Amino acid sequence: MGHPGHTVTDAASVPRPLESLPSTFIAGKDWLSFSREQDLLKSLRRSPRWTFRSIEGGHWPMLTVPETLASLLLEIPLER
């Protein structure tokens, strides 16, 4: 099965500013420091509705450290 191409070519539609959405961002430590979206990340870090968590496990933590990823996901409140 191929990659769903529209996820690469079409812009995502968000009904309100990202900063207002309650979210948890889980990524590898180095990924955040090398992201091309540094201005957006700075803005999101200032939002009280966003939480950032880091994980060691490469690009596919669901395969390399599934227990660690599951633990982080279970810490996310279902309602905020």
Digit-coded pLDDT (tens) for 21-41: 899 999 887 776 766 777 888
pLDDT surpassing 60 at residue 1: no
Q: Is 7 domain-assigned? A: no
pLDDT at position 15, please?
79
Query: In total, how many domains does the chain have?
Result: 1
Q: Is 79 domain-assigned? A: no
Q: Is 3 domain-assigned? A: no
Q: Is 68 domain-assigned? A: yes
Rg (CA), the chain: 14
Mean per-residue pLDDT for 9-25?
A: 86
Q: Is 50 domain-assigned? A: yes
Full-prediction pTM beyond 0.75? Answer: no
Q: Is 60 domain-assigned? A: yes
Q: Is 4 domain-assigned? A: no
Q: Is 57 domain-assigned? A: yes
